[in-house]
Amino acid sequence: MGHSIEELQRIGVKFYLAEGAEPNLSKVIAAFHRWIRNSSVEGLLIDVADYAHVPEGPGALLVAHEGNYALDFAGGRPGVVYYRKHAADGDLAARLRSAARNALQAASLLENDPELEGAIEIGGDELQIFANDRLLAPNSDETEAGFRPVVDTLLDALFPGVACKHCRDQNPGERFNIDIKASQKSDAKTLLARL
Amino acid sequence: MTTWKETLGTSIPPVLGHEIDSYEEAFEGKREGRIESTVFAEMRLRRGVYGQRYDNGQRYDGEETRALNYPCGDLEKGPDTVWDAPGMMRIKIPWGGMSTAQMEALAEVAEEYSDGILHITTRQDVQLHFVHIEDTPDLMRRLAAVGITTREACGNVVRNVTGCPRSGVCSTETFDVTPYTQAIHEFVLGHPDGQNFGRKFKIALSGCDTQSCGLIRIHDVGGIARTREIDGELKRGFEVYVAGGLGAVPYQAQLFEEFMPEEEILPTIQAIGRVFARLGEKRNRMRARLKFLVKKLGFDEFKRLVLEERAVLDEDHRWTAFLADLHEWDDKPLKPAAPLPEGDYPAEFAAWRQDSVIPQRQEGYAMVTVGLPLGDLTSVQMRGLIELVRKYTGDTCRSTIEQDILLRWVSLSDLYDVYKDLAALGLARAATGTIADATACPGTDTCKLGISASRGLIGELNARLSAKLETLDPAVRNIRVKASGCFNSCGQHHVADIGFWGVSRKIRGQLVPHFQLVLGGQWANNGGSYGLAIVAIPSKNVPEVLDRVLDHYVADRQGDESFHDYVTRIGKKAVREQVKDLTEVPDFEQDSSYYFDWGDYRRYTVADIGKGECAGEVVESTEFDLQASEREVFEAQTLLDSADVSGAADIAYRAMFLAAKALTRTQNPAVGEDSEVIVGEFRTRLYDTELIFDKYAKGKFADYFFRAHDEVQEKVPASADLARTRIEEAQLFVEAAHACFDRMG
């Protein structure tokens, strides 16, 4: 399994929005279209999908060749997410860090987009890390044991010296995912600078 | 590294496993240039791997069309289709039946290879979008391991065999058609007689003729369950219809046999397939559906050929083997039948129950329709549904042609608990099956052919209508509204009570998204009649048009008059008058919203569906003449409604002629008024140069015009069929003329 988890490419990171945030998806979708026009975030940006009609769905999705960006509502909690679809360079830790960086870059852009009028702000102390690959990373204790060191490496960078609680979703049907809560908050720009 | 192929091993049926391996091996052949793009495209289509918007490697970003520079460079997965561009995966779900293990696999592949959304289609399929071609072999293996195939989900083959999802539990059915639908699916899948069609072939079965769960009359072959007493024995069989189809020019299916014994259904389909493969059009895909062959041969000759073919078929045990056990696919209740306990239930439950719960034939049980907005649900919701199915009903559920999921065998005593569990999943939406549950094809969201945002429009209509559903007059509650993003009718707008299909219009030199308003269709009686377009409405005004048409209906209906009967009585001309002022488009400076489509924040364009470089001038008069031609199409419809078939056919031709003349004048302002000269000049300057050609349909629409012109010259007598077809074709030709004029810039 150790070998398999090292091969994992389909990694995602979601930074939850601050409590009570009610993002206007229409404005986010419009922002994503502008991002495509201006190449605002990393990757070959292809299209925008509007899933505002789907409860607890992907919300606003910016489809890119390498991976997707979204302001999604999975689990009933809105957040800015990036998940990788195609292979990236570097070892697993580097790939996870890269996914987190992309998510934070998107979050930072949304936080500072004048059209969104400050309606989007990440909480800065909660995130989810997931493996979108049941072959290499089934939702199991073994996967958690193999993945934990790279998660801790990322958290050490994001929240230096700060305690973080981990909570893995134990539902065997769900993909492998860990919710993380840090004991201190930081804004997207600060978190991004730490990566 | 471990692979899915190794992990799944023998759980993949060997035949499917071998086919998937061959498909994957073809990747290398394509990369090395050993396989032609067209061959590879058909190969992947037959495996359900479809193209998607922008897969030609360019996209309009709101200001300009830009190249999408994929890392694969020039490598294609089909003509003008970039290898790396994400595509759509269509997954066959015969008669919509899914086990929980299959639902689980579907949820997983949607999450890992798509965007976490499962889209239920109007053919009971599941579609995934934004899928990369390299992921498709493993996706197929994971589905194959639970008994799902994507084989022949697309391509010129027999598509997913659909069947009434209420079969076996419905109070109006003659008998359960499920085993027959499954037998057809198994028989035709990969059958040698189904591999050489010029175009796709669609089959459906329904348990009754009054409901619309199967839409029999829009299929190449459709069967309605019937019984007949023969020699003192009650025999099962089917009332069989053939050669129906929607698409750009819809055809009502024709009655092939009033009662076809059950043992004859498979061999007859085989015989029809052979005739279709042998004589059907192969080169011109726009005339290649069975409906065109039947029209060309004449129904009687077609039937004679089929019966002749049937007589010489070699006996095949599969024709009747399935009849030995017609209960193999029966689903049984998990819980005992019991009434819903008396209680003070919340109003939301009552509203949900009104629209979503259908009593079963079996006392104490009900079907529950899980309404999916625009046919979409997430992988997480799917997994929630699995738990719910296992808890309340057993192991299966079915997708529907209205893009929902149907739970069966719900004990009435569990209804409130089912409601609460669905609500927790965000799936207890009231309004299922009502006017606020309108459906749409993918349109410009993901379809390469989309002209207007059908999903955006329907999303808007559903939101508005849901908000006021309880205050709507009961007469409009169950009216069906459907929209397609173009003329191809994937949204089934022809059989909606109120339909829309996307078109574009150039207004004062600027493109504006529009939808044609289609009236006269009938959802009931298995798609009992087809509607016709009556006027193009700016997309922005469609919600107001719908409100106004419904208001007039509520105010003017007589007794229990249905909407269909109301439109027939007052005439399409009167409806057109009702909405006339809403066809106007203000200047961009006055209201820019008209120049954007629903849910799209880019300035409206048709650049993503194709490009052309006509040179244009005489703008004002061309716009004027094209509008005049559109009015003539409508006039032809009103004449047809009043049974003046000859007048309708003449005016429909005139509409085409006016549009052709308008375009010809942009190329040769001195063309004059002589009709033969105009037709000749049109051929030379618009057709031979391919200026009028649609990117995908090529010269099809202009061919309609030339054929109509020949018929007029030869004084071919008009029949109702000819008039109706010519009106449909005139509408398409006029749209093609608009599109050509749009491209002139």
Domain B169-324 CATH class label: alpha beta
**Contact B1/A86, CB-based, under 8 Å?**
no
Mutate to test the interface with A, among B141, B380, B390 (most CBs of A within 10 A): B380
Contacts of A175 in chain B (CB under 8 A): 108, 111-112
Residue B612's beta-bridge partner residues? none
Place of tokens 């140069």: B689
Q: In this structure, what are the phi and psi dihedrals at residue A145, rounded to the nearest 5 degrees?
A: -65, -40
Contact A54 B115 (CB under 8 A): no
Q: Can you give B526-589 as a three-state secondary structure string?
A: HHCECCEEEEEEEHHHHHHHHHHHHHHHHHHCCCCCCHHHHHHHHCHHHHHHHCHHHHCCCCCC
SS3 (DSSP) at B397: strand
Asked if B130 and A49 come within 8 Å (Cβ–Cβ), the reply is yes
Q: What is the pLDDT of residue B457?
A: 96
Q: What is the CATH number of domain B347-424?
A: 3.30.70.3340
Q: With an 8 Å Cβ cutoff, are B130 and A75 in contact?
A: no
| Residue pLDDT tens, chain A, 195 long | 445 889 999 999 999 999 988 899 999 999 999 999 999 999 999 999 999 999 999 999 999 999 999 999 999 999 999 999 999 999 999 999 999 999 999 999 999 999 998 899 999 999 999 999 999 999 999 999 999 999 999 999 999 999 999 999 999 899 999 999 999 999 999 999 999
Per-position b or e across B285-295, b if 16+ CB within 10 A of its CB: bbbbbbbbbbb
Q: Where are the domains of chain A?
A: 2-193
What confidence tens digit (pLDDT) does each residue in B358-392 have? 999 999 999 999 999 999 999 999 999 999 999 99
Query: What is the mean predicted confidence (pLDDT) over B173-180?
Result: 96
Superfamily of domain B440-609: Sulfite Reductase Hemoprotein, domain 1 (3.30.413.10)
Taking the C-alpha atoms of residue B711 and residue B655, their distance in angstroms, rounded to an integer, is 15
- Domain B612-745, CATH 1.20.120.330 — does that match? yes
Model confidence band, residue B612 (pLDDT cutoffs 50, 70, 90): very low
ipTM of model: 0.97
Q: Is the pLDDT of residue B578 over 90?
A: yes
On chain A, the residues whose CB falls within 8 A of the CB of B601 are 26, 29-30, 33
Residue-wise pLDDT for B190-213, tens only, equals 999 998 898 999 999 999 988 878
Query: What residue segments make up the domains of chain B, in order of their start?
Result: 4-144, 169-324, 347-424, 440-609, 612-745
Domains B169-324 and B347-424 in one fold: no
Q: How confident is the model at residue B147 (pLDDT cuts 50, 70, 90)?
A: very high
pLDDT at B284 over 80: no
To the nearest whole Å, the CA of A2 is away from the closest chain B CA by 11
Beta bridge partners of B359: B366
Query: Which chain B positions have a beta carbon within 8 Å of A136's beta carbon?
Result: 1-2
Res. B1 pLDDT band, cuts 50 70 90:
low
Q: Which of A37, A44, A68 has its CB closest to that of B61?
A: A37
Look at A58 and B117 and tell me if their CB atoms are within 8 Å.
yes
CATH classification code of B4-144: 3.30.70
Q: Report the residue from B85, B111, B599 with minimal CB separation from A132.
A: B111
A44 to chain B: which residues are within 8 Å by CB? Answer: 68-71
* pLDDT confidence bin for B301, thresholds 50/70/90: very high
Quick one: pLDDT at residue B613?
21
Spatial CA neighbour of B434 closest among B464, B400, B465, B399: B465
Which of A4, A49, A54 comes nearest B445 by C-beta? Answer: A49
d(CA B30, CA B37): 7
What pLDDT score does B618 carry? Answer: 34
∠ Cα B370 B376 B378 (to 5°)? 90
CB A65 to CB B53 under 8 A? no
State mean pLDDT over B687-693: 93
Q: How far apart are CA B309 and CA B230, in angstroms?
A: 25
B123, A29, B498, B730: CA torsion to nearest 10: -90
Q: Which residues of chain A neighbour B104 with C-beta distances below 8 Å?
A: 173
